Structure 1
Amino acid sequence: MTQQADKPTPTGTPIVVSVRGEATLEADPELCEFAVTVTARARDHRDALEQLTQRNKELLDQVKAEYGGALEKLETGHFSVYPEWRSRKSDKIGPYQGSVRVRIVVKDFAVLGEMVTKLADGEGRSVDGPYWSLRRDSDVYRRARNEAVGEAVRRAHEYAEAVGSTLIELLELADTGMSSSGAPQGRAMYAMAAAPGGSSYAGPPALDLEPQRQTVSAAVEARFSGTQPARL
Structure 2
Amino acid sequence: MTSPAEPPAEPHVPYGTPDAPRIAVRGEAQLEVDPEIARIGVTVGARGKDRRSALDDLTRRNASVLDLVKGYGDAVERVETGAFSITPELTKHGRGERVHAYHGRVRITAELTDFTALGELTTRLADLELTSVDGPWWALRPASPAHRRARQQAVREAVLRAREYAEALGTTLAALVELADIGAEDAQPYASPPGRMRSMAYAADAGDEAAPLDLEPQRQRVHAQVNARFTMAPPRL
Q: Establish whether TM, by shorter chain, passes 0.5.
A: yes
Relative distance call for 1:150 and 1:157 in structure 2 (3 A) is same
Q: Which one of the candidate residues 87, 99, 102 is aligned to 2:105?
A: 99
Secondary structure class of the residue paired with 2:97:
coil
Please show how residues 13-162 of structure 1 align to structure 2 within 5 Å.
13-65=19-71, 67-86=72-91, 90-162=96-168
- Whether the 8 Å contact between 2:137 and 2:197 is mirrored in structure 1 is yes
Shift of 1:219: 0.5
Structure 1, unaligned stretches of length 5 or more?
Answer: 1-10
Q: Which one of the candidate residues 172, 187, 203 is aligned to 1:166?
A: 172
Does the alignment pair 1:190 with 2:165? no
* Residues in 2 aligned to 1:168 and 1:145: alpha-carbon distance in whole angstroms: 23
Letter in 2 for 1:183: M
Aligned length: 212
RMSD between superposed Cα atoms in Å = 2.0
Does the alignment pair 1:215 with 2:221? yes
- TM-score scaled by structure 2? 0.84
Shift of 1:180: 7.3
Shift of 1:181: 4.0
- Whether the 8 Å contact between 2:76 and 2:111 is mirrored in structure 1 is yes
- TM-score scaled by structure 1? 0.85
* Residues in 1 aligned to 2:103 and 2:193: alpha-carbon distance in whole angstroms: 40
Shift of 1:214: 0.6
Shift of 1:75: 0.6
- Whether the 8 Å contact between 1:180 and 1:216 is mirrored in structure 2 is no
* Residues in 1 aligned to 2:42 and 2:73: alpha-carbon distance in whole angstroms: 16
Structure 2, unaligned stretches of length 5 or more?
Answer: 1-16, 184-191
